[in-house]
A and B are shown apart, each in its own frame.
Chain A
Amino acid sequence: MATQHRPILQVNNLCKDYVTRGFSHNAANIFHALKNVSFEVDHRQTYALVGESGSGKSTTAKIISALEKPTSGTVVFDGDNYTDDSPRQLRRDIRGNIQMVFQDPFSSLNPRKSIAGALLEAMEIQNVGNTKRERLDAAESMLERVGLGSWALNRYPYQFSGGQLQRINIARALVVEPKLLILDESVSALDVSVQAQVLNLLQDLKEEFALSYLFITHDLSVVRFIADRVGVLRKGTLVEEGTVGEVFANPRTDYTRNLLDSIPLPDPSRHQLAG
């Protein structure tokens, strides 16, 4: 390529306004969910977006995965600006490359569909594999890769625990061979030890499939473990950005410092609640 450095994802000056109207049509309330947010995710990098509820993390994720259109600004995937693409173009160029794993593992799978059904449907839409046999094999090996097996294929979501379901969601996202995976609070609902297993799995898969992650979370201890770069969102503005080492060692804003100090440490000798 012409430039030696081209990020896999570029988010440029993203703004998103939501307009809420009251009963009288004149009274329109404009809520600025995102204000001029820009960042880049490099190949094989994990970029963490942190912030409190209402800070715009999920809005950003929705715009990047083209589930929502920004008010202004652009999103560029691997050199291709897809902000104003038609649904058909999106399906062809973007959906297969950017996949998402959500917070609640139960509500992101159809309860009436078997696991095989869910995985095959994703592959059929993205034209992965030529025959049903091929797709089934791909589904099976992906389930094995995330720590389950062919036994899971013909079961239904209610027969799994939360940690297993999140593995299935990851498998469902990965069978279409994406390049970028958006993980929106994907481990927040899991128990610590299950969370540790899924985090380990994500690290392995990243190596194996050369993935890039956009990791959205409010849990900074997870960020330190999994991410390379981190951006801190506050009320729709990206207040701080840098490598994980920089931000954790020397946060530049009081907001980030406060966020870091608010994490309860598993060490009773450090009295955080005093004062």
Chain B
Amino acid sequence: MSQVNDLSAPLDTQDDTQDGTQDAQAQPLLSVDGLTVSFKAGRKDWITVVKGIDYTVGRGEVLGIVGESGCGKSVSSFSILRLHNERTTKYGGSIRFAGRNVFDMSNRELLDLRGGDIGFIFQNPMSSLNPLMTVGSQLRETVRAHRRGLGKDEIEQRCLSALRKAGADTPEEWMGKYPYQFSGGQLQRVVIGMALINEPKLLIADEPTTALDVTIQMQLLKVLRHLRDELGMSIILISHDMGVVAQTCDRVAVMYRGRIVETASAARLFSDPQHPYTKALLSATPPLDGPEPKRLKTVADSMAEIEAAYREQEHKEA
């Protein structure tokens, strides 16, 4: 947290304009090092929820973070934008976005980052939109907050093209409607459009399809893949669904009790999982083809193994 690198920051960000493929290895877009997040639990008590995690996201890469509820996947992702209440949260380690540590940023800089270079999609689209404003006015507000001095027509064009990229069929019509007039899948498209509107370099999607039907989920996953393939956007996809992650991500990090227990390419993680927890998660999903199991294996079945591996890692990191 102590390193100050404000001076070098503007130089680093210039690299963004270059083609990302080559320096994806050299300098990742986002690198999280030893991140810890603690919440205030009493007058002097702090609970550490994220216990030192490291990961990187390259340019144009889709990183999946999987784990069960309470493992810290959302908490760590909210930390990238410092969305937790600062008075009751303690951060440790560093999160560098395009070379700059977000923990050294001022509030002003953070405001520019949120919805500017980093877009965020939450699980429930209904609660991320204002029910009393039309979708259009909310989209225009997002543009105006980040790009001052744009003309009316330009703002309108940006909104429409963002909606189109998110897969809206009639964006002109959508602009004049209120959130309640949309279905869940359409609303999630609006929210994705809003996250895209300022052409972010990184999109963080926290369980974006959990509340949706499978057919709609498939369409939205295609939209996400398209954003990466066509626009070179980096994406962090948080999910508890192993199927979603397998189909969408290049690399996957598995989280368990505040730690990343395994990181691997999607191909390797699913064909050859190393950590007992990853194995347990995979076998807990009822299979769609092949032999039908009489009983499903659960995480509880291999708890001893998982805890042993977890403790070993804890010991190593301490």
Contacts and interface: CB of A to CB of B under 8 A. Distances in A.
A197 to B, nearest CB: 5
Contacts of A196: 284-286, 296-298
B270 A266 contact: yes
Most interface-central of A193, A197, A203 (chain B CB within 10 A): A193
Contact of B241 (A225, A259, A264, A268): A264
A53 interface: yes
A222 interface: yes
B288 A221 contact: yes
Interface in A215-233: 218-222, 224-226
Nearest to B214: A262
A1 interface: no
Interface in B44-88: 68-69
B266 A224 contact: no
Given A218-B213, A258-B215, A192 B68 contact: yes
A47 to B, nearest CB: 17
B298 A265 contact: no
Contacts of B300: 193, 197
A192 B215 contact: no
A267 interface: yes
A52 interface: yes
Contacts of A192: 68, 240-242, 281, 284-285
Nearest to A258: B215
A219 B214 CA distance: 8
A12 B266 CA distance: 48
A219 to B, nearest CB: 8
Contact of B266 (A52, A194, A219, A268): A268
Contacts of A162: 69
How many chain B residues sit at the interface, stated as a range, is 35 or more
Secondary structure type dominating chain B contacts: helix
B222 interface: yes
B134 interface: no
B242 A193 contact: no
A158 to B, nearest CB: 16
Given A218-B213, A269-B267, A193 B298 contact: yes
B199 to A, nearest CB: 22
B159 to A, nearest CB: 26
Contact of A265 (B215, B221, B246): B246
Given A200-B296, A218-B213, A259-B215, A266 B68 contact: no
A265 B295 contact: no
A225 B214 contact: no
A210 interface: no
B273 to A, nearest CB: 10
Most interface-central of B216, B286, B287, B295 (chain A CB within 10 A): B286
Contact of B248 (A193, A220, A273): A273
A266 B242 contact: yes
Contact of B293 (A191, A222, A225, A265): A225
A273 B243 CA distance: 12
B21 interface: no
B312 interface: no
Interface string A251-274: 000000011111111111101110
Given A221-B287, A266-B243, A200 B218 contact: no
Interface of B: 68-69, 184, 213-218, 221-222, 225, 240-248, 266-267, 270-271, 280-282, 284-288, 292-300
25 contacts: A52-B216, A191-B69, A192-B241, A193-B280, A193-B281, A194-B68, A196-B284, A196-B296, A199-B286, A220-B288, A221-B286, A222-B286, A224-B286, A224-B288, A225-B296, A258-B215, A259-B215, A261-B218, A264-B243, A264-B246, A265-B288, A268-B270, A272-B247, A273-B221, A273-B225
3 closest A-B pairs by CB: A264-B243, A193-B299, A225-B286
Interface of A: 52-53, 162, 191-197, 199-200, 203, 218-222, 224-226, 248, 258-269, 271-273
